[in-house]
Amino acid sequence: MERQRIMRALALSRENTLIELMGSLGDIPPFEYLRRPQKGLIMVKARADAKNQAFNLGEALATRCSVNLNGKAGHAYVLGDEPEKCLAAALADALAQDERFRPEIERIALCLEADMARARALEVQKTQKTKVDFFTLVRGEDAD
């Protein structure tokens, strides 16, 4: 499993789900902060006409955190003011680089993806019910 895919699952997770799953790991090695959870801004870029020149839409609040765990640097950036979720994600990123913990972190990432898939499936199901078929009326003189 690619590092980017794991980081995506961590970033898109719901905070309580991630913390609960990380809690299931049991004892993890001690870590030190390379950077404590810190709030900041990411300027969101978009494209004119969806695909033309880039422009700045506005900023998004984000949290970042970096840890050192057994010599492995774990990093995380997540949207919102989410210090606990961000720390959990940085720890998971560091642990994923450790052979002993990698299978467990991959399992957690799969759980998070499945959680997300369930939520999205529910959303799609509700949205699809609002799909409409507009039809234009055929005028009398055209209908022969």
Long-range contacts, stretch 55-58, CB < 8 angstroms, 24+ apart: none
Residue 10: name the closest of 64, 53, 68 by CA: 64
Q: Which stretch binds other proteins (CB under 8 A): 25-33, 97-105, 134-142?
A: 134-142
Q: Which of 70, 6, 88, 77 minimizes the C-alpha distance to 41?
A: 77
**Whole-angstrom Cα distance, residue 115 to residue 117?**
5
Residue type, 108: I
124 lines the binding site for other proteins (CB under 8 A)? yes
User: What distance in Å separates the CA atoms of residue 52 and residue 67, rounded to the nearest whole number?
Assistant: 38
Q: Which of residues 83-122 bind other proteins (CB under 8 A)?
A: 107, 110-122
Displacement of CA 91 from its chain's centroid (Å): 15
> Site for other proteins (CB under 8 A): which residue of 23, 100, 127, 141?
127
Query: In whole angstroms, how close is the CB of 27 to other proteins at the nearest point?
Result: 21
Which span (25-33, 95-103, 127-135) binds other proteins, by CB under 8 A?
127-135
- Is 20 one of the binding residues for other proteins (CB under 8 A)? yes
Region 32-51 residues binding other proteins, contact defined as CB under 8 A: 38-51
At its nearest, how many Å lie between other proteins and the CB of residue 138?
14
Shortest spacing between CB 87 and other proteins, in angstroms: 15
Handedness of CA 68, 1, 104, 82 (dihedral sign): positive
Residues in touch with other proteins (CB under 8 A): 4-5, 7-8, 11-12, 14, 16-17, 20, 38-62, 64, 66, 73, 75, 77-81, 107, 110-124, 127-128, 130-136
